[in-house]
Chain A
């Protein structure tokens, strides 16, 4: 594993510089840079096809960008395979839910702890102390997440039978069980009703306050973004068009144009 000494800005957990990604002719990301301070909540917004999810895929190692540097907690992410990146503390909540329908909520959450298992197969087979204590500590972690996300009444229910709003919470829970340093949240509030969205916002704030986990959120609900985020990056056609605090972004003409379009030059007669 290549460990690079951090050259990023002090206090920043993740720093991307000049990241470009292209699929043959399509340039998904062009020279994108992002610095996320430890313990903060950053948002990535932009119209559909702007490259937001591609950016997440670069961070979690699913895509290899052609150019740029990606540093996370002292690691050079480009040199790491996706499972190594996950092990280094990057967890992800998927937009289209990555859960196992036939397994219960608890089992899905325990699967989130899977990469943390360090026992050998013979320890497991003989159910030795190492395996046992590990099992107990993972179960405790899963239970803490159940408590945190108020999932007690669904613990033993198969995921396939649960309503969508609860599934989103389980998906978030699965990511939390990985004990991440950085949490990538791809549209956590998509498809939720007003009340569920408020709950989700509450959870994200609590994750920040109580667990100190750094978060990057992709979200179309701009009200939510403006309320939660410490900093915002706006992408359009793979290009960074603005970045900064929510207040500055809101008044940025380039952002307004990307979302609302250019005002018509001339009224047709």
Chain B
């Protein structure tokens, strides 16, 4: 087997298609039924896509953009581009037209794969802003057939032509793969950009293949694993779980019906590996609590009792002080409550529930450990292929993201910044050598995160270097820690902690409309809209109570003394959130400057 087959992603696909041609590689729910795609057909589709891309003039070093929800065609387009030496660029569907234009221009993409009419309209609206874009391939052409636009073509036509071309030269794609070098950049992942314009990180097969291969045994991954692909594939975290790991182990990736059906799809698939960002886990937690409030007295009591016991037991277990009685309660709890709950959530078979992409609160982790979903945390960033630290299952230290992965070195700089070195460190930012030089110095990737390592080599992240709050009293605090404590409440969806140069910490909070509305319904509290609901004194009292509870998890100086409930939900279109739904702290603080000043002008809400 040649080097290319072992060490590039398309090569790994070709190897799997040769060794396990008829095994299932992908499943997609279409018309209510899970349709299967074998490894052989997976490769065939990728090859046809690659052949057709070349026909359209895409060559090594060119860029191919993908603006779509997760679906098998996303992977076909990505791997096909990589196979012919081009670079796949993912664009978030939620991006407003200006952001789509930025990425298309900046990458100079020649071909764009588009989900549907909505996305096509967005791109066509850009008109002359994207002169290099020559072809738009539409996965679901419904509604676009009558468009008078020469660049458009439906996916069905595109792939059929690719298959036709390939029929005369069946070995073409494998030859192309053979020519690939592991170190050549094959993907551009635009980072979410909480500050400034997004930057395109160039990743190569070298950055990700070896990592995935070394991670698999540590995490106990096997051939028979199954995953659900539902987080945006533009983000490196989902790429790890939909591409890098499955291509290393041969696990089956599932694509559900739509983003609205994730809960049902999860229950259908019951994946053995599941990646959630903290927001997802917070949502699961909130939905369980709300469901329980509406259930019978018996169920509620059992759930309360066992989740409390489970949490205490989890805390002891993690501290290495497990008791024999813990096992008994766990068994009983599993039998009476948790088994059914886990089945409902679709997490019954899950042996690797992961959280990543953003910090998660310790309290939430404990709760999940307590109900038998032992979430492991990982750490990484786009610039290191998405992962540098991961907690091996069963050896979690809460609050820590685990030891550094094999093949990567981690060092803490004098100012506390986490530095990384290894094969997974990226090749640089696209068209931005200054930013590259700024980020990688002397071979060390400067992560911008502050952290510390314990005696076992477990890394603890304490905050973002740029976002540390230094209070008027001179204390260095991490806003993220405070915000995560607040977001543990099912009623609080977002929080922005403020306190840089101030006497005390305050917070702007956004309530979770769904859970708060359900809370109001149960109290017969009438409301008309989000703004109306959040303006109610009762809701303010509820939020006050929740913040009081969160304050118990925080040190005295970190406690939130004043808060304001935002009258609207933060939104990407208003520049308040990134495409990955992270808060743009600076923007929010600017937009709501008056609200913030008002909090420091008046008397503190509590002391």
Residues of A within 8 A of B (CB): 139-140, 143-144, 146-147, 150, 152-153, 155-156, 202, 205-206, 209-210
**Cβ-defined contact, B31 with A143, below 8 A:** yes
B269 CB to nearest A CB, Å: 15
Asked whether A152 and B143 contact (CB < 8 A) given A143-B31, A143-B32, the answer is no
Q: Which 10 A-B pairs have the closest CB atoms?
A: A143-B31, A153-B260, A152-B257, A143-B32, A153-B261, A152-B261, A152-B258, A206-B143, A206-B142, A210-B142
**Which residues in B have their C-beta under 8 angstroms from that of A147?**
30-31
Q: How far is the CB of A194 from chain B (nearest CB, A)?
A: 15
Tell me the nearest residue of chain A to B29, going by C-beta: A152
- Tell me which of B32, B143, B264 contacts A205 (CB under 8 A): B143
- For A153, the chain B residues whose CB sits under 8 A away are 257-258, 260-261, 264
Which residues of chain A come closer than 8 Å to B32, judged between CB atoms? Answer: 139, 143, 146, 155
Bound: A140/B31 CA distance, A: 7
* Distance between B116 CB and nearest chain A CB, rounded to angstroms: 11
Interface size on B, residues (CB 8 A): 14
Measured CA separation A139–B258 after assembly (Å): 20
CA distance in complex: A89, B508 (Å): 58
Interface of B is mostly: loop
In the complex, whether B145 has a CB less than 8 A from a CB of chain A is: yes
Q: Which residue of A lies closest to B264 (CB)?
A: A153
User: For residue B33, which residues in chain A have a CB less than 8 angstroms away from its CB?
Assistant: 143
Which B residues, 174 to 213, have Cβ-Cβ distances below 8 Å to chain A? none
Tell me the B10-42 residues at the A interface (CB within 8 Å). Answer: 30-33
User: Smallest distance from the beta carbon of B81 to chain A beta carbons, Å?
Assistant: 28
Q: Is B146 an interface residue (CB 8 A)?
A: yes
* Extra inter-chain contacts (8) besides given A146-B32, A150-B258, A209-B145, CB under 8 Å: A140-B31, A143-B31, A144-B31, A153-B260, A153-B261, A153-B264, A155-B32, A209-B143
A156 to B261, CA, bound (A): 11
CB-CB under 8 A from A206, the residues of chain B are: 142-143
With A143-B31, A144-B31, A147-B31 in contact, is A152–B146 under 8 Å at CB?
A: no
Digitize B230-241: 1 where CB-to-A-CB distance is under 8 Å, 0 elsewhere: 000000000000
- List B contacts of A139 (CB < 8 A): 32
Q: For the complex, what is the distance from the CA of A131 to the CA of B146, rounded to whole Å?
A: 39
- In the bound complex, do residue B260 and residue A152 qualify as a contact, i.e. CB atoms below 8 Å apart? yes
CB-CB nearest in chain B for A205: B143
**Shortest Cβ distance from B356 into chain A, in angstroms?**
26
Q: Can you list 20 residue pairs at the A/B interface with Cβ under 8 Å?
A: A143-B31, A144-B31, A146-B31, A152-B257, A152-B260, A152-B261, A153-B258, A153-B260, A153-B261, A153-B264, A155-B32, A202-B117, A202-B143, A205-B143, A206-B142, A209-B142, A209-B143, A210-B142, A210-B143, A210-B145
